[in-house]
Structure 1
């Protein structure tokens, strides 16, 4: 019986919308982050003069790009938290309550 309930929820429009909302955020953000990281790696390997350019004292472009990798990671985590709070969590909570009601009712 529980398998039938889960299959029904998975086939439902709300579940499909939940997946769409997640993918609309996750896929573009993943592509953007991987592109940003690849740029850092490529520049580090093939643009050594540029990456070695000193900006302030012994702080160079490569160090700034490396630190910005951390900044972008935390920014993405924060943006995802906001996205989840506003877009996916309310719908997931609705689906969860419907699923709990259906599984307790059977």
Structure 2
């Protein structure tokens, strides 16, 4: 039970990190890109300023939601965890269903 509680606490912490609109915007911009992006490229994609993007990327990196790689003088960010991509994609589909009033697929379990 103690291991289960540790996992639940970590899941809750990650959901808390993902509850920020700016972070979701950054993640979806990285998901939509066909390559890793620099902070400046993320700023252009999201219309957020550089200090905001840098701060949010730091939080996302801390929780291993984004990865980073130094290339020359640039640091490039990406989303390489298929769990994160799937979770965000599923939530986007969920919201799209609600917005157009379509019923959600039935639980198959």
TM-score for the superposition, normalised by structure 1: 0.31
Give the number of the structure whose residues are more often helix, by fraction: 1
